[in-house]
Structure 1
């Protein structure tokens, strides 16, 4: 019996007509506003500015006038000839007087208090000698009992005792359970190859195996090799 390739039909159907273009859908609603983004990183530090010009030389500190009391100072504000910003000091002649050695500056409308120039407190004197020991006081009450002490460390292990005598032979045990399955057998011999299916472009050009199928991928036609 002679074998040949016989077409059995096609896997590819005819091409359909192009469908009409669909209508444009309605415009969607505006979505809700998204959350605010995270704050960006701090920018780099700017360059240092240029150094300003050198200022004018200041006037040296000096007391322009000495008053005997605060009331005399206030009375002479308008006529004492002291310039605005000038310093005056109160000297009552009494170190115990609270107004003595007070420093004032002449403001735009009155003299303003700045600080007290009285002397600072003297240094601490040396420590005196220790006095005689006083008489012994009465005996105090007995104190409360202290808490229990911590537990002592564990003692060393004792010596091992002598070996005991051998025990009597026990009764015969029950029959054991069935053992596990044996190991897997060797792999069998390779079988004969089947007719299978092959793919190509165009009709088949050579013989095949009876029952073998062939597919022409360009047209989708299926062939069978048969008698």
Structure 2
């Protein structure tokens, strides 16, 4: 179900500069950076979620989440574990002068106006992309010298997001011609055809699959985020 302009946060002026937004995309990776992107942001606002599964499991393996914060730019997370290819996680920040793209976990950054990426040594450490357990143990050994990466107050927005998602319905099962199956038994792998293209378009436009005329798209779960 297409969202209106107020819901998507997209520019109302044709040909105008895109409004600031944050997009996260990843395929067949892991999700430690989801928490890192969400946690520093203020939670109050509203969200839309669509999630799917191609396996007989109770949780999603593909999801697109859009969060409109009461303050700050909107954010869209588009991730999957059912891609036909590996895509390193990317955090894409769009502003009035262009896009900055951080590739996770390679420390590679592309700034507006540049064609190639460049490695920024230590960037992951600056963003707190370190092991939480290791950090907790180091903090306990030296509370004054080693601050916590994720103190309780900083995790409040992420916790509020999880709480808002708890009532969401079971992820929709995608099967049949939409899915490619390779291997047998414990080696069997299931891929959602074309999902990487869908997630990239979602990230580029700040849109849900249903707003991109994706045939298998479903209506979004909607919720408010407590501030």
The question of a shared fold, defined as TM-score above 0.5 by the shorter chain, is answered with no
Q: Tell which structure's C-alpha radius of gyration is larger.
A: 1
- Of Structure 1 and Structure 2, which has the larger fraction of its residues in strand? 2
Q: TM-score, normalised by structure 2?
A: 0.14
Which protein has the bigger helix share? 2
